[in-house]
Amino acid sequence: MEPIGFIESCFKDKFGTPRQPGLVKSAWAKLRIRADLQPAEALQGLEGFSHVWLVWVFHQNKVARYHAKVHPPRMGGKSIGLFATRTPHRPNPIGLSLVELVKVEADGIIVSGADLVDGTPILDIKPYLPEIESIPDAKTGWTSQVQKDPIQVEFTEHASKLLAQWQQRNPDKKLKEVIEDTLKLDPRPVVYRGYEGNDGASYRNKHAVRLFDGDVHFEFVNANLVTVLDILFTHN
Ligand SMILES: C[S@@+](CC[C@H](N)C(=O)[O-])C[C@H]1O[C@@H](n2cnc3c(N)ncnc32)[C@H](O)[C@@H]1O
């Protein structure tokens, strides 16, 4: 199989990329489709759909490993069979994401809410058919037992000023919303959690996510509060 194109996404690394689509609704991404596939023709009619499935490759998986049981971050350390999860580490590293279709352009599509890293190869686009694919009373297995306290996001005065400058440079992007929704999901690996307030473990609490063309530095003050400390972006 050959990718039909590659995604340009606001998430530049795996760290910080949401664990499922729709969790960061304002996440921006553009899929440019290969010119030889005649995108303008191939996309005709898609504009009538509000959501599409993306079928894609976990191309940043570093090691080809097979574990029949995995530890989903939401299970906080417990393990479960890989086929009962959406782990990237599968026999065939294929991803599936339901995203909102924002716009059809001549060379591709703009979508929001994607959980894909920048540069991800896309294998296919399929329209979402709610009358067939939406099953409101479906059983949701172990995921229905997972509960998490909400996380609040605050900005220091310094970070607020930088956010305003960064926003001026990117007037069409919802930067604050993307930052807040990304951090509310707690992007930290499970082993980094639980050390908040411990000065000797500040490397576990202070991190940065690359969003769009900026680096957003933040600190978990406690399990339910994260402070944005700094935003680095090119000022020229
Ligand atoms: C749990 S997977 C779910 C993906 C998809 N919704 C699915 O169910 O197949 C989402 C995670 O995959 C990782 N990811 C996203 N794009 C990737 C890529 N191109 N290569 C490897 N990992 C990726 C990110 O860490 C993201 O949080």
Condensed to tens digits (0 to 9), the pLDDT of residues 22-34 reads 999 999 999 999 9
Q: Where are the domains of the chain?
A: 5-133, 152-233
Give 171's Cβ-side CA count (13 Å radius).
Answer: 1
Match domain 5-133 to its CATH number in 3.40.800.20, 2.40.50.140, 2.40.30.70, 3.30.2290.10: 2.40.30.70
Of 14, 24, 54, 59, the one to substitute when testing ligand 1's pocket (max ligand atoms within 8 A of C-beta) is 14
The ligand 1 atom nearest the CA atom of 19: 27
What the block records as the tokens of 212 is: 């769009």
The ligand 1 atom nearest the CA atom of 94: 9
> Reduced to 3 states, what is the DSSP secondary structure of residue 99?
strand
- pLDDT tens column, 169-182: 999 999 999 999 99
Q: How far is CA 183 from CA 29, 178, 192, in A?
A: 18, 9, 14
The ligand 1 atom nearest the CA atom of 120: 19
The ligand 1 atom nearest the CA atom of 117: 16
Specify the pLDDT at position 127.
98
Element (H, E) at 130: helix 130-133
Ligand 1 mean position to 58 CA, how many Å?
A: 6
**Which residues have any ligand 1 atom within 6 Å of their CB?**
14, 17-21, 58-61, 86, 88, 95-97, 115-117, 120
Specify the pLDDT at position 101.
98
Ligand 1 mean position to 120 CA, how many Å?
A: 9
What the block records as the tokens of 154 is: 């605050």
Strands (E), 190-224: 206-211, 214-222
Specify the pLDDT at position 236.
64
Helix pair angle (157-169, 175-184), 10° resolution: 130
Specify the pLDDT at position 168.
95
CATH no. for 152-233: 3.30.2310
